[in-house]
């Protein structure tokens, strides 16, 4: 599994390898300013740092494919990473998708 501390998602339960970090609603690879994995705007998670393909959206605790009322993928609680409890629902699911297991 992974854990989250000080804005960085790491492997395992301690201070493992840095997988990704959040800066200005953009998930970046590694612990610095690596490759942009996705961005979050209006509870929609998109590829890259701009207006890329909509991967999924999170509304009322439910995760759905695409930007609208697509296939239900689960609930936010199903994608929780230890330490991310205070982050937005979209950030929690995006981190899980890119750092733990691809949802789509």
Query: Do the beta carbons of residue 37 and residue 98 sit within 8 Å?
Result: yes
| Extended strands (E) in 1-104 | 2-5, 8-11, 18-23, 26-29, 36-41, 44-47, 54-59, 62-65, 72-75
What does pTM read for this prediction? 0.87
Instruction: Provide the CB-side half-sphere exposure for 11 (13 A, CA).
Output: 6
Report pLDDT digits (tens) over 36-92. Answer: 999 999 999 999 888 889 999 999 999 999 988 889 999 999 999 999 999 999 999
Distance CA 66, CA 59 (A): 12
């Amino acid at each position: 599994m992974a854990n989250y501390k000080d804005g960085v998602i790491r492997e395992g339960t301690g201070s493992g390898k840095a997988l990704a970090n959040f800066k200005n609603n953009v998930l970046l690879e590694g612990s610095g300013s690596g490759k942009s994995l996705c961005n979050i705007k209006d509870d929609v998670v998109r590829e890259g740092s701009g207006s890329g393909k909509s991967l999924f959206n999170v509304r009322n605790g439910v995760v759905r494919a695409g930007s609208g009322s697509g296939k239900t993928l689960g609930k936010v609680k199903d994608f929780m990473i230890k330490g991310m409890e205070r982050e937005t629902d979209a950030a929690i699911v995006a981190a899980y998708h890119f750092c733990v297991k691809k949802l789509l």
